[in-house]
Structure 1
Amino acid sequence: MMSEDPLSLRSPPVKILAAQLRKCCRAPGGQWQLAREEYGRPALAVPLVWMQGTVLSVDQDRLTVQIQDESGCFTVQGVDKVPKGRPCLIAGKYVMVMGLVLSCSPEPILRAVKMTALMDSVLNRNMWELEVEDLHRHLP
């Protein structure tokens, strides 16, 4: 697992889906890299990510949350130590998570930096996947 790097928190988070994160590989030096050949773009370092999805479960100690986006599941650890917006540690809530990437395979694992509940709207959910795709098509 990657240790927390204070420099990682200086970079803006990369919007990403669970399926994309699952395909990331470690580069020399330990950073996770997202291959973006399908968009005609070079690989992108993803130390800090922004993900959205529906809370599937919260462990009994409220330390770890299982979330699912349109492309798959991911785990968020350390949610007890971060600022949280509207109540978000509830199964069924649609949430935003910013976190440091700890692992990508077989299932992505993040260490939470921030977490908040979003409006539970079909538009929010449907637009997220398009927003992520648009970002990766245009981000150099």
Structure 2
Amino acid sequence: MAGVASGGERASPPLKMAAAQLGRRRRRRGVVVPGVSGGRAPPDPSVVWMQGTVVAVDAGARRALLRDDTGTFTVRGLDHVPHGKTQLAAGMYIMVMGVVESCCPEPCLQAVKMTDLSGNPLHKSMWGLEVEDLHNSIP
């Protein structure tokens, strides 16, 4: 995912985000936030890494609704992402890397990569701490 963007500059890697964080960051675009990056909010992420539990799968519409500890988000384009041997089903815990399409009324991603993490409960229990730690260290 971290490749060369148009114009020759290096593209940013996916930013780990929680559903509520992504919604807040996208809504406050251009708002002055004292003490953050010289008074401005960090740039909106265009590619994110999110994790959550599958709430529902709409195979006909090629999308799924996921929930993390902060809220829900939609993942589109399920038919364009290799899943390996596993098909998505409610209750699975998955990682999604994707392009942010919108954040209103909730985040919506166009999936680029998905991985089933259900086999190890440590992934779910550590995710919130990983995201918090990352965002505490972003200047």
Q: What is the letter of the counterpart of residue 79 of structure 2?
A: D
Structure-2 residue corresponding to 1:30? none
Work out the CA distance in 2 between the residues paired with 1:92 and 1:45: 30
Structure-2 residue corresponding to 1:82? 81
Cα deviation digits, residues 50-105 of structure 1 (max 9, x gap): 00000011103261010000100000000110122452511100000000001012
Work out the CA distance in 2 between the residues paired with 1:45 and 1:59: 28
- Structure number with bigger Rg: 2
The answer on whether the counterparts of 1:88 and 1:95 sit within 8 Å (CA) in structure 2 is no
Tell me, what secondary structure is at the counterpart of 1:46? coil
CA RMSD of aligned residues (A): 2.8
Q: Which consecutive segments of 4 or more residues in structure 1 shift more than 3 A?
A: 6-10, 119-122
Cα gap change, 1:86/1:60 in structure 2, threshold over 3 Å: closer, same or farther?
Answer: closer
**How much has 1:23 moved relative to structure 2?**
1.1
Cα gap change, 1:69/1:122 in structure 2, threshold over 3 Å: closer, same or farther?
Answer: same
Structure 2 gaps, min length 5: none
**How much has 1:117 moved relative to structure 2?**
0.4
**Alignment length, in residue pairs?**
128
Work out the CA distance in 2 between the residues paired with 1:120 and 1:66: 20
Tell me, what secondary structure is at the counterpart of 1:106? coil
The answer on whether the counterparts of 1:86 and 1:116 sit within 8 Å (CA) in structure 2 is no
**Larger relative CO (CA 8 A, sep 6+): 1 or 2?**
1
Q: Share of identical aligned residues, percent?
A: 48
Q: What is the letter of the counterpart of residue 78 of structure 1?
A: G
Tell me, what secondary structure is at the counterpart of 1:55? strand
**How much has 1:120 moved relative to structure 2?**
4.0
Greater per-residue strand proportion: 1
Cα gap change, 1:49/1:85 in structure 2, threshold over 3 Å: closer, same or farther?
Answer: farther
Structure 1 gaps, min length 5: 1-5, 28-32
Structure-2 residue corresponding to 1:73? 72
- Are 1:21 and 2:19 counterparts? no
Alignment of 1:52-63 (within 5 A): 52-61=51-60, 63=62
